[in-house]
Structure 1
Amino acid sequence: MASSSRTDASGVTRKMIRLAVAVIVVLVLYTGGWFYAASWVKTTLDRELAASEQGLHSASCSNLDVRGFPFRIGLFCDSVAFDDRATGLSATFGALRSAAQVYRPGHAVLELDGPAQVRITPDLVFDADWDLLHASATAWIDGLNRASVAYDGLKGRLNVPSEGVSVGIAATHGEKHVRQSGDALDVAASFDALSLDLGDSVLPPLDVAVDMTIADAARWISAEGPPADAPRGASAELRRLSLDLGDGKVMALSGPLKVGDDGYLSGTLDLDIAGISVWRDRISEAFPEIAETAARVAQAIEGLSKGNDRAVVKLKVEDGTVYLGLFPIAFIPPF
């Protein structure tokens, strides 16, 4: 009986040893595979980034490193820069930290530090900084499927000296989302407490949100990329563009739009506005040069609403000119 017990115990011990050895082998192979993959990624990126310096489209990632063992793999850079010599676009950013799960490499998250500067020839410069910016993306070899960006404490300034433009921008929080939806592209964005400093006037903070679908534009975020003349020729359904001053004073637009081959916008929009007099006063204070026009438009809308401070009216956009009834009230420059 004792002999049988010793035999059984010996058999269990051998199984445990085999299991332990198998686990160790798997761990060793996994560890070797992870570090081999990390080394391959770093070497490949270093080579591609160095080669890009000789072309029209270059990118750099200072002190590139690959980290995340054991369950993640991600890129880390002290700073990031892009330069598109063909279009005259260049940009610099602070540190980049990214990560993807080993078992789900097509889904990545990242954080990007400021400050940032975007420059477009000849003299457009946008400087920005933020408290926190994080993003996520789902992609495969054919490009992005969806992507999101969220940030807090954004502050920036756009300067175009040749046009006499200098605009300061600030927002407590903002988000942007894009995703493929069949052949279409869904786009949504929001800004909390967005304020604009126009130099001689400052627009009071307001919340802005936009939600739209662009037809036949899914390929814009694929490996194919958008056409050179995008968004010209594109059609979109504007589900909602809202401007919110608080206390129920909201202006919202919705309807179909199309950008012509010449870049001018056309379409039919529903305008739902609450607080007509408040919007008139805010626009007049921020843009004194159009105060008279703002007053006339507000009066026309109030007439259509039979004196109420809220109205729903139709706007028609033809080749960039916005009409309320038969009267032009605004002009949208070409894209």
Structure 2
Amino acid sequence: MTRSILIALSVVAVYTAGWFYLASIAKDRVRMELAKAAEQANSLECQSLSARGYPFSMYISCSGFNYRDQNQTLNAATSAVDVGASIFSFRTIKAQLTGPAAVALSGADPVKANWNKLQASARTDDRTAQDISLSAENLRLQSVKTDTDSKAPVLSLQEMQFDLNSLEEPLKLKITFDDLQLSGDTPLASLPEMDGLIDISSPASLASFKEADENGSVLRGKALQLNQVLFFLPSGASISLNGPVTIDDEGLTNADLKIRLTNMPALGQSLQAAFPDQVKNINTVIFALGSMPKDESGATIVPVLIKEGKISAGFIPLGRVPRL
């Protein structure tokens, strides 16, 4: 019995020593990557670097995290970041972020963010990250110019799930959200909470959308398939669309879309509440849509065609889409 206890204690001691040794290597690797980023004119700051998760996981933690890219176009900071993996699934990297956070993009107002829970995960291989996932609970985003800007637009949602197949492979993107609402100084604050689904694919990768052409566009020469874009209101009204969209090398849009509308009276009431000065026009549009085809469930189907930037709904011309 004594020998068994000694063997068990020895195994635990060796495992513990190995865990802390690997933790030390991991922290050194993080420091090296931070230094490498600094050499490339990016700025990453990880405050109070530490390792945790013993015995069956290993997470590298920063009590504060700041990032600024080399072109000064993106600045981000959050209270804490934990990144790591379980020893039972070491190729799946998980991260948890603690709010609040601040994000600033060049040419846009800064955004303050907070949440109850924000987690991300990705499966790694020898080439790139796969099966990228992000989930959030009670997320709140506020666009602000000053710390006292209490009427700035706020986007809040109860739950969100973001899934992406890869950064480098043909795009497969899916986003679902519950109880999305806009508040603050925006006409859309009068819209009710809504649930939604965005399902998009493309032969191009997400990484390719970061590479702007000589005209400053990231969309020219790209093709998207809107598998389903759905917004669902508490009244039972919904708006969904699907179909292919392409942007040619000149920035002209071509698309063949189908819009599906349910519970038109409730949808009209929601739009009238959000845009009271457009009540007459909204009523006219709702009346005109009444003559559009219906599917077997009674939903209104509106075919929308965009050809070289010219947009029409059925036989009604609606103008032009600006060059993208």
Give TM class, smaller chain.
0.7 to 0.9
Distance in 2 (CA, whole Å) between partners of 1:289 and 1:259 is: 34
Distance in 2 (CA, whole Å) between partners of 1:80 and 1:245 is: 37
| 1:3-43 deviation digits (Å, cap 9, x = unpaired) | xxxxxxxxxx9xx95x7776665544433332222111101
| Corresponding residue number in structure 2 for 1:239 | 227
Q: How does 1:151-166 map to 2 (within 5 A)?
A: 151-159=136-144, 166=152
| Corresponding residue number in structure 2 for 1:38 | 23
| Corresponding residue number in structure 1 for 2:215 | none
Distance in 1 (CA, whole Å) between partners of 2:90 and 2:200 is: 29
Determine whether 1:60 maps to 2:45: yes
The Cα shift of 1:80 comes to 1.4
Distance in 2 (CA, whole Å) between partners of 1:252 and 1:216 is: 24
Q: How does 1:1-335 map to 2 (within 5 A)?
A: 17=3, 26-86=11-71, 88-159=73-144, 166-180=152-166, 183-197=169-183, 199-201=185-187, 202=189, 203-217=191-205, 220=206, 227-229=210-212, 230-263=218-251, 265-288=253-276, 290-305=278-293, 310-319=299-308, 322-329=311-318
Letter in 2 for 1:193: D
Letter in 1 for 2:211: A
Please, which moves more after superposition, 313-322 or 235-244? Answer: 313-322
Task: Determine helix, strand or coil for the equivalent of 2:198.
Answer: strand
Please, which moves more after superposition, 108-117 or 193-202? Answer: 193-202
Distance in 2 (CA, whole Å) between partners of 1:28 and 1:209 is: 50
- Flag the 1:183–1:152 CA change in 2: closer, same or farther, 3 A: closer
* Percent of aligned pairs sharing the same letter: 23
Confirm or deny: 8 A CA contact 1:284 1:290 kept in the other structure: yes
Distance in 2 (CA, whole Å) between partners of 1:191 and 1:238 is: 17
- Flag the 1:61–1:72 CA change in 2: closer, same or farther, 3 A: same
- Flag the 1:287–1:332 CA change in 2: closer, same or farther, 3 A: farther
- Flag the 1:265–1:113 CA change in 2: closer, same or farther, 3 A: farther
The Cα shift of 1:141 comes to 3.6
- Flag the 1:232–1:82 CA change in 2: closer, same or farther, 3 A: farther
Task: Determine helix, strand or coil for the equivalent of 2:54.
Answer: coil
The Cα shift of 1:50 comes to 3.6
The Cα shift of 1:194 comes to 0.9
Confirm or deny: 8 A CA contact 2:112 2:142 kept in the other structure: yes
Task: Determine helix, strand or coil for the equivalent of 1:236.
Answer: strand
Compute the TM-score of the two structures, normalised by the length of structure 2: 0.83
Confirm or deny: 8 A CA contact 2:128 2:168 kept in the other structure: no
- Flag the 1:110–1:269 CA change in 2: closer, same or farther, 3 A: same
Task: Determine helix, strand or coil for the equivalent of 1:119.
Answer: strand
The Cα shift of 1:256 comes to 1.3
The Cα shift of 1:95 comes to 1.3
| Corresponding residue number in structure 2 for 1:9 | none
The Cα shift of 1:174 comes to 1.3
Compute the TM-score of the two structures, normalised by the length of structure 1: 0.80
Confirm or deny: 8 A CA contact 1:133 1:152 kept in the other structure: yes
Gapped regions of structure 2 (runs ≥ 5): 213-217
